[in-house]
Amino acid sequence: MPRTPVRTRTNALARGRRTLHTGADRWTLPLDPAPALLASREEAVAYFARRDLLGQAVGPVESLWESPGATRVLRGQRVGGGWPYHGGNLRLRAQEDYEQLATYTRLRELVEKFGMTREHPALARAARYLYGGQTREGDFRGIYGNQYSPNYSAGILELLIKAGYADDPRTRRCLRWLLSIRQADGGWAVPLRTLGAKYTEALGLGEPLRGDPAKPSSHLITGVVLRAFAAHPAFRGNKQIHVAGELLLSRFFRRDVYPDRSAPEFWTKFTYPFWFTDLLSSLDSLSRLGFRADDPRIASGLRWFRDRQARDGLWDLTLLRTGDKTLRLWVGLAIGRVFRRFGAMD
């Protein structure tokens, strides 16, 4: 009697039948996104899909550092470690550090898409440049002139942590600074916004506005700041960070209290690497902070993605930066990672 063929894991993947499930109720994505990501032939996407979604052994991430995509991002780096900014408001250039913004933008690509770390000389130079803009208080100042910017400070720090600077004293100083400027409700806001000030008015001030900690937090700012703490293995278990995560969860699909990207529809406009706070970037952070899929609020976010999965296993969502032809793939990978962390892959 012939033996019944064993359905191997590889065969199941090829047919796109493997599912992702989360929580005790084990509801699933209709399709596994991994086959579509592998079929794209995007080298970096395929690498991370194999590693993070399939759990396969892959070669060293350094193999991506010499790829054409990484080489393009590295072009134009200045001797001092930063990148020049092309464009922007010329009237505000004297007040805002556009080179810091350009360097932050390049670092997002190098770290998140190519896994680059401090072992690469160009990234080490960029880190020296960015840390050079750190104040004695601990924040990274310049993109908002002399004003405090918890969102950009945390955004820069998140990448430096992922690039291997988690144990650097300058990293810990910034994390402590972020904890020190929380709003009373446990989240964060741009201090000048809590006073009703406009960015253009505050940029010309010589000293930073301290803000009103009694005012409510912004979920836009809180979500960005949480990404830095979620990336740090020693700080992600901090009780104060869990409080901030609860606050972010309570704001899902709601309007922000401040005018910056305040409309509820911004929860469902996506990009990768993450920039603003949206549903995907929030779930990504919360999955690292110990929140569970059996929390009804987490489940509602996961269900939103499950209900919108396309027939090829990826998603057709509202994407920012539509000039990036690979963005749909990267967003699909990020969604798969979130489901993987919240549950398991069969």
Structural tokens at position 87: 């464009």
Residues in the chain predicted with pLDDT less than 70, given as ranges, are: 1-27, 87-96, 344-346
Q: For position 345, what pLDDT does the model report?
A: 42
Element (H, E) at 203: none
Q: For position 96, what pLDDT does the model report?
A: 56
Identify the CATH number of the domain in which residue 23 sits: 1.50.10
Identify which of 234, 341, 199, 333 has the alpha carbon closest to the alpha carbon of residue 274. Answer: 333
Question: What's the structural domain count of the chain?
Answer: 1
Q: For position 327, what pLDDT does the model report?
A: 97
Distance between CA 147 and CA 210 in Å, rounded? 9
In sequence order, the β-bridge partners of residue 270 are: 319
Three-state secondary-structure class, residue 309: strand
Considering the domain boundaries, does residue 298 fall inside one?
A: yes
Which residues have a Cβ under 8 Å from the Cβ of 264 and sit 6 or more positions away?
253, 254, 255
Q: For position 221, what pLDDT does the model report?
A: 98
Considering only CA atoms, give the Rg of the chain.
21
Distance, CA of 329 to chain centre: 16
One-letter amino acid identity for 244? A
Distance between CA 274 and CA 261 in Å, rounded? 15
Identify which of 225, 217, 320 has the alpha carbon closest to the alpha carbon of residue 267. Answer: 320
Distance between CA 289 and CA 233 in Å, rounded? 10
CA atoms within a 13 Å half-sphere pointing along the CA-CB vector of 224: 22
Q: For position 20, what pLDDT does the model report?
A: 53
Considering the domain boundaries, does residue 4 fall inside one?
A: no
**Residue corresponding to tokens 């134009």:** 76
CA atoms within a 13 Å half-sphere pointing along the CA-CB vector of 10: 1
Considering the domain boundaries, does residue 166 fall inside one?
A: yes
Structural tokens at position 105: 């933008």
**Residue corresponding to tokens 């509602």:** 300
Computed from CA positions of residues 66, 71, 76, 80, in that sequence, does the dihedral angle turn out positive or negative?
negative
Considering the domain boundaries, does residue 229 fall inside one?
A: yes
pTM, entire model: 0.90
Element (H, E) at 100: helix 98-114
- For the segment 298-310, what is each residue's pLDDT rounded down to a tens digit? 999 999 999 999 9
Identify which of 245, 325, 323 has the alpha carbon closest to the alpha carbon of residue 284. Answer: 245
Phi, psi angle pair for 15, to nearest 5°: -85, -5
Considering the domain boundaries, does residue 262 fall inside one?
A: yes
Q: For position 41, what pLDDT does the model report?
A: 87
Distance between CA 34 and CA 18 in Å, rounded? 9
Considering the domain boundaries, does residue 334 fall inside one?
A: yes
Q: For position 141, what pLDDT does the model report?
A: 93
**Residue corresponding to tokens 């741009």:** 190
Computed from CA positions of residues 221, 222, 226, 227, in that sequence, does the dihedral angle turn out positive or negative?
negative
Considering the domain boundaries, does residue 250 fall inside one?
A: yes
Structural tokens at position 156: 């820069």
One-letter amino acid identity for 304? W
Distance between CA 166 and CA 169 in Å, rounded? 8
Range of the domain at 267: 14-345
Q: For position 18, what pLDDT does the model report?
A: 54
Considering the domain boundaries, does residue 2 fall inside one?
A: no
Query: What are the distances in angstroms from CA 16 to CA 33, 39, 60, 214, 215?
Result: 8, 11, 27, 50, 48
Three-state secondary-structure class, residue 275: coil
Burial 151-189 (b: 16+ CB within 10 A, else e): bbbbbbbbbbbbbbbbebebbbbbbebbbebbbebbbbb
> Cis before residue 208, ω within 30 degrees of 0?
no
